[in-house]
């Protein structure tokens, strides 16, 4: 069977003039995105004020950052152990700001850096969409992401997503580079980028699974004997994994010293599976994800009696046995998570909220779904976008799923939205140019 390529061939940027022109274009896009995102920060400060410091920032990120800036190490409320469950990159970043301006970071300053990081995410989305869907679709994807009102809402908040989402997109971009030029070097670089994204938000480590899917597709595309494909696949996966582990290793070593085991977090897959899937947990349908109805006595016993790895296994098996004993709950919980994460806005919203956030979101999602239909019907080769998108959606169906979580897959959906707009405009002018067809 003939396997289509992951994407059309890239025309190399060969001359210094072309490279300079490309750099100017990307920098210009970044400046436009920075201005738009910082406008969202200013608007958020004027409307919400101190509410932009979210509850988890008050309770976790800021205390850890203040301890780091004061030279007390990675801890909060006097414990190094519990701080292990918090991915370190965002608190470290806040600590650097505090070391520069003092323990109280002004909202405008943190917001400025939030805007800069998220503007970088806009540029990465443009590059991804251009790579797989062409220049015209890329411009529209950039515009849709820029105009997404939810982004204007999130950008001012003191939350890890402003750092974690761009790093997630950088990981997706590096997987695309791996698909274009598969080698040990590109695989290791993709793994290192995924490791960095994981240190900003643990679920981004699931990009490693997307990397496996990309490697499998590469092997199918290249063909050859079974032994050759096995060796080739092992080398690529080993390089991908090694790059990721090298970046994670300082954090793993630190946690080994604190917990006695080389764990990424003391609150990881098994515990998340229990807290999000236990049949006793009260399902949230308002767009949030609160841990209500859990057996907290079981959690306390597990914490007291077992080390992190053993505790993770215990909680995972406990939740799995409960679910298998009541299979009807599996369908109900998956359906509830879909509704809770992808609802247009939070529950009990005002008319203004519905008009500003919910209505544009519905339009953007319709465009994204239309773009997906176009890509499927025309078999556009975009696995390096599809694999991370599918993996992240699946992860949130298995674990937590709330409105805030969709900040990660939404940029990739905007890429498909840009494709849909480009095709609609091409149909409207009765001209289907190559730029609307995923070529350059």
Residue 5 lies in a domain: no
Percent of the chain with pLDDT over 90: 77
Say if residue 127 is in the same domain as residue 191.
yes
Evaluate whether 368 touches 140 at the Cβ level (below 8 Å): no
Same domain, 32 and 161: yes
Q: Which of 66, 87, 105 marks a domain boundary?
A: 105
Condensed to tens digits (0 to 9), the pLDDT of residues 423-436 reads 999 988 755 455 54
Tokens matching residue 153: 């809402």
Q: What is the pLDDT of residue 289?
A: 82
Alpha-carbon gap, residue 230 to 238, rounded angstroms: 12
Q: Write down the pLDDT at residue 430.
A: 59
Query: Do residues 89 and 95 touch, judged by C-beta distance below 8 A?
Result: no
Same domain, 152 and 74: no
* Longest alpha-carbon distance in the chain: 69
User: Which 8-state DSSP code applies to residue 10?
Assistant: P
Last residue of a domain, one of 81, 105, 129: 105
pLDDT of 93 > 60? The answer is yes
Q: Is the dihedral of CA 367, 372, 375, 378 positive or negative?
A: negative
Tell me the pLDDT tens digit for each residue of 361-407.
999 999 999 999 999 999 999 999 999 999 999 999 998 889 999 99
Taking only the tens place, the pLDDT of each residue in 23-42 is 999 999 999 999 999 999 99
| Cα–Cα distance, 110 to 150 (Å, whole number) | 18
Domain identity same for 185 and 160: yes
Quickly list DSSP for 73-96. Answer: -S-BTTBTTGGGGS-SHHHHHHHH
Q: Looking at residue 347, what is its pLDDT? A: 84
Confidence of residue 92 (pLDDT cuts 50, 70, 90): very high
Same domain? For 238 and 345 the reply is yes
Q: Residue 274: inside a domain, yes or no?
A: no
Cα–Cα dist 281/395, whole Å: 18
> What is the tally of structural domains in the chain?
2
Are 139 and 171 within 8 A, CB to CB? Answer: no
Does 192 lie in the same domain as 228?
yes
- Residue (of 408, 57, 54) closest to 198 by Cα position: 408
Asked whether residue 166 is domain-assigned, the answer is yes
pLDDT score of 13 more than 70? no
| Choice among 30-44, 92-106, 334-348 with the minimum mean pLDDT | 334-348
Q: Can you tell me which residue has the tokens 């582990």?
A: 245
Looking at the fold, whether 66 and 203 belong to one and the same domain comes out as no
Q: Are residues 148 and 169 in the same domain?
A: yes
Measured distance CA(195)–CA(339) in Å, rounded = 30
**Least confident stretch, 4-13, 40-49, 297-306, 322-331:** 4-13
Task: Assess if residue 190 is contained within a domain.
Answer: yes
Is 90 in a helix, a strand, or coil?
helix
| 438 has a pLDDT exceeding 90 | no
Is 416 within a domain?
yes
Same domain, 164 and 216: yes
Question: Are the C-beta atoms of 109 and 392 separated by less than 8 Å?
Answer: no
- Per the structure, the complete domain to which residue 82 belongs is given by 53-105
Using the 3D structure, point to which of 105, 129, 145 is the last residue of a domain.
105
Residue 365 inside a domain? The answer is yes
- 162 found inside a domain: yes
Residues 6+ apart with CB under 8 A from 195: 205, 243, 244, 245, 246, 247, 248
Task: Using the predicted structure, report yes or no on whether residue 52 has a pLDDT greater than 80.
Answer: yes
For residue 428, the model assigns a pLDDT of: 80
> How high is the mean pLDDT of the chain?
92
62 & 131 share domain: no
161 and 243 co-located in one domain? yes
Backbone φ, ψ for residue 198 (5° rounding): -65, -35
Q: What's the rounded Cα separation, in Å, for the pair 269 and 203? A: 9
Q: Is the pLDDT of residue 352 over 80?
A: yes
Check whether residue 75 and residue 200 sit in a common domain.
no
Question: What is the per-residue pLDDT for 2?
Answer: 44
Looking at residues 224-245, what average pLDDT do you find? 96
Does a structural domain hold residue 287? no
Q: What is the mean pLDDT of residues 273-278?
A: 90
pLDDT confidence of residue 431: 53
Is 253 within 8 Å of 315 (Cβ atoms)?
no
């Amino acid at each position: 069977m003939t396997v289509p390529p992951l994407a059309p061939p890239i025309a190399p940027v060969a001359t210094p003039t072309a490279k300079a022109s490309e750099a100017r274009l990307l920098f210009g896009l970044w400046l436009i995105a920075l201005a738009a995102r910082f406008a969202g920060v200013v608007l958020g400060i004027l409307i919400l004020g101190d509410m932009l410091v979210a509850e988890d920032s008050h309770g976790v990120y800021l205390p850890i950052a203040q301890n780091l800036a004061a030279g007390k190490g990675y801890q909060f409320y006097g414990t190094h152990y519990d701080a292990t469950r918090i991915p370190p990159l965002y608190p470290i970043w806040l600590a650097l700001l505090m070391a520069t301006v003092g323990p109280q970071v002004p909202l405008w300053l943190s917001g400025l850096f939030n805007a800069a990081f998220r503007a970088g995410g806009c540029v990465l989305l443009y590059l991804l969409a251009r790579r797989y869907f062409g220049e015209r679709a890329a411009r529209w994807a950039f515009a849709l992401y820029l105009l997404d009102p939810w982004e204007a809402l999130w950008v001012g908040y003191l939350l890890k997503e402003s750092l974690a989402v761009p790093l997630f997109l950088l990981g997706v971009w590096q997987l695309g580079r791996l698909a274009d030029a598969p080698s040990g070097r590109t695989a290791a670089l993709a793994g290192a980028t995924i490791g960095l994204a994981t240190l900003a938000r643990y679920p981004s480590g699931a990009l490693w699974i997307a990397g496996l899917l990309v490697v499998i597709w590469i092997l199918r595309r290249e063909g050859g004997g079974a032994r050759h494909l096995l060796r080739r696949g092992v080398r690529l996966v080993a390089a991908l994994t090694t790059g990721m582990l090298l970046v994670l290793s300082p954090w793993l070593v630190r946690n080994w010293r604190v917990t006695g085991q080389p764990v990424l977090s003391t609150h990881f897959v098994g515990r998340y599976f229990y807290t999000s899937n236990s049949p006793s947990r009260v399902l949230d349908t308002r767009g949030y994800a609160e841990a209500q109805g859990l057996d907290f006595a079981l959690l306390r016993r597990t914490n007291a009696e077992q080390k992190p790895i053993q505790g993770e296994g215990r909680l995972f098996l406990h939740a799995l046995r409960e679910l298998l004993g009541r299979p009807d709950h599996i369908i109900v919980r998956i359906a509830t998570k879909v509704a809770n994460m992808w609802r247009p806005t939070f529950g009990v919203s005002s008319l203004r909220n519905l008009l500003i956030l919910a209505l544009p979101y519905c339009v953007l999602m319709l465009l994204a779904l239309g773009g997906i239909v176009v890509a499927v019907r025309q078999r556009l080769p975009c696995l390096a976008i599809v694999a991370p998108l599918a993996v992240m959606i699946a992860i949130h169906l298995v674990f937590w799923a709330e409105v805030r979580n969709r900040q990660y897959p939404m940029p990739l959906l905007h890429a498909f939205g840009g494709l849909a707009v480009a095709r609609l405009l091409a149909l409207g002018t009765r001209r289907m140019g190559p730029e609307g067809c995923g070529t350059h």
